[in-house]
Amino acid sequence: MYNCKNIFLLLLGVIFSTATIAQISHGGSPLNWGDATYQPVFEMQEMPDVDLAALALEDAVTDQHKEAPWRFGVEQEVAFNLENSGTWTFEEGMHVWRLGFNCPNALNVSFMLSRFVLPKEAQLYVYNAQRTAFLGSFTQENNKDWEGLSLGVLDGSSMILEYHESPASHGMGEIEVNQVIHGYRSLLNHQEAVLAEMVERLGPFGNSGACNINVNCPEGADWQTEKRSVALIVNGGSAYCTGALINNTANDGTPYFLTANHCIGTPNTWVYYFNHESSSCSGTTGPTNQSVSGGTLLVQNGGSDFALIELSSAPPASYNVEYAGWDHSGSTPSSAVGIHHPSGDLKKICFENDAPYQSSTGGAQVWWIDEWELGVTEPGSSGSPLFDQNHRIIGQLYGGAAACSGSVNNGAYDFYGRFNVSWGLGASQYLDPLNTGVNTLDSYPTNAVPGAGCTDSTACNYDPEATSDNGSCVDNDVCGICGGDGSSCTGCTDPTSCNYDSSATIDDGSCIGNGVEVIFTILTDNYPGETTWSVTDASGATIMSGGPYASNGTTFTSSACVATGCYDVTINDSYGDGICCAYGEGNYSITSDGNTLVSGGEFVSTETTNFCVTAVSNDTPGCTDSAACNYDSSATIDDGSCESTSCAGCTDSTACNYDSSASIDDGSCESTSCAGCTDSDACNYESTASIDDGSCEFTSCVCTGDINGDGVITVADVLLVLSEFGCLSGCTTDVDGDTYVNVSDILLLLAAFGTTC
């Protein structure tokens, strides 16, 4: 029994009825192709033979396990390039470089090029020594961002690379072969091999089980549009998985390709074969001349076992592909259909007439298929799309036990990673670039609405040529990105936080002030595709996660900045044998500041361990806010103790309530309680006043009639007035202030006689 569709068996079953088989090639042919008398000049590299007996023993084991790709070839490492090997000639006005490879007893040969950078007017071809089949031409249009190229398989044991450069471009190209794949098991069947196999087999379907149904059988009549999205994946010396082109809300044919996370290795070295199917219901061969080399991994996650890739080139119009629609609502479908390449065979179809239901397994959220009514899946079907009754993708194959039992279904289950979960794990940013928020999308180009677009002239994606609005109108986000979610410029802007984002210009409140880095490390066992894990906080929110993995015996690490507190780490093994020690010496651990918080590896299906993190020991906790009262310049991590009250007060030195000890002004300053007359000579002088309010006066305190200033009006004062009686100007005893000393002054003085001033 198996529970994951990644035992990768591949038998492409091609009949060489034409002279060329191709990836995206650009016409032309090797020099003098078809001329039986032509003898090209080339250097031949003799490759080492392979130990078929040892390989057979290994394959007898790995062919039984779901995680191991079905190996058809041995990848031999080399380093041959235009400068250190090969033969240059000048023929028919071109510089021609050739290099031959002889792989003793090989059934087929293919190549990996670690360098492929071609100038204009340059072409590369690959052909067999018999000059009966070739690949190419590969030109400047095949140049990749990663400057490499994977070449497809040719049947035979001896191959020649032939490279043409014009005089104008001579010396500008770069080609280096880093792998020669010696195929010791059949990948592209001869017609006679297929016919011979059919005699021995009970079923008619190439290399997959006899209960499988060709996609072009009558049962698949309603799925002829969707089938054109599905492709077979081949990597180096192994057949791999299945996947599908998937549409996006821009309906622009961007070559997004959905497959399973557990299939992921190095997508830029994969070859994606489209339309590998029989044209009839009973056929056992199909074309392999419609492929794309290489792709870039955009996002992957074990939470739904999905991976989204962007192919290096959009399949040309001649491939007649379809970009499948999708539904991320999570609504339960009434039925489901799978389209796939079981064991690398021709394209097949299977039917679930009942409603799948939601479940979880191996750390992933899945759609569960109890039993297929028609057809099954097999190893190699992994990553293939699951369609609902509306012909929209709702998931991709993760695993299961369904298989043929002779010529009938064995009645076992399958499970698919749920697309609605994948949507929230990163798929949405690529498949809804306009941020429309729609739950469903139909396929492209068959179901695209002509003239549909955004008709709102105020929207940032306004389409003046649109004749009907498709609900795609969006505005710029806070970062100025049309239809963006604000994530391109938001994040933690506090450089003291362990999750500080130097590219963020707007703080989103995510800063973890008392953050600690925790590191998850895992050494995979022999079956890494079984392993997934996650770290969750007290609320159940996932902090980080990983797996399934593609490489056995390999160390992987992940890290996250977390707040001090307690967390759970859960590790799962979908086969139920842990990661140590029956099938490899796997282990895992969580560390922080050099301290091991969790370690393990011996468990059955799942293991959950609680751990707690505190401030890093090398850090000095304290208040790191320089504006706070208790700021600690020696603190390296904020402990949440900052306060701004103990040092608050009036910092205005001119205010009545100025506090010389205050370093933070609390707005309490006032200038009234200490205001008054500060002139000591004034009648209303206030000794307690520190702020002069302009109220000083000098008259209310003068005693009229006290001529001699002794504080009492007496006879002495009367005598002084009488001494100046009759004075008309400059009089010093003028009591009433009229400038004269006369009877009125005497009368005033007598009226106040005896008064104490």
**Tokens of residue 657, six digits:** 């309530």
**In degrees rounded to 5, what are phi and psi of residue 529?**
-70, -10
One-letter amino acid of 624:
T
**Tokens of residue 403, six digits:** 């298989």
Which DSSP string do the residues of 285-316 spell out, in sequence order? Answer: ------EEE-EEEEEEETTTTEEEEEESSPPP
CA angle, 427 then 432 then 438, to 5°: 110
**Tokens of residue 528, six digits:** 């890494």
d(CA 723, CA 299): 116
3 state SS of 200: helix
d(CA 639, CA 710): 74
Cβ atoms < 10 Å from Cβ of 153: 25
102-107-108-112 Cα dihedral, nearest 10 degrees: -70
DSSP tag of 342 = G
3 state SS of 572: strand
**Tokens of residue 92, six digits:** 């028919």
**In degrees rounded to 5, what are phi and psi of residue 268?**
-75, -10
Q: How far is CA 691 from CA 243, 308, 660, 667, in A?
A: 84, 75, 17, 19
d(CA 692, CA 402): 97
DSSP tag of 424 = I
d(CA 297, CA 267): 7
Q: Are strands 664-665 and 648-649 parallel, antiparallel or unpaired?
A: parallel
The set of catalytic residues is 262, 305, 382
CA angle, 200 then 202 then 205, to 5°: 95
Residue with tokens 């729609």: 438
647-651-655-656 Cα dihedral, nearest 10 degrees: 20
3 state SS of 339: strand
Cβ atoms < 10 Å from Cβ of 710: 12
Residue with tokens 């400038």: 739
| Dihedral sign, Cα of residue 182, residue 186, residue 187, residue 188 | positive
Q: Are strands 675-676 and 691-692 parallel, antiparallel or unpaired?
A: parallel
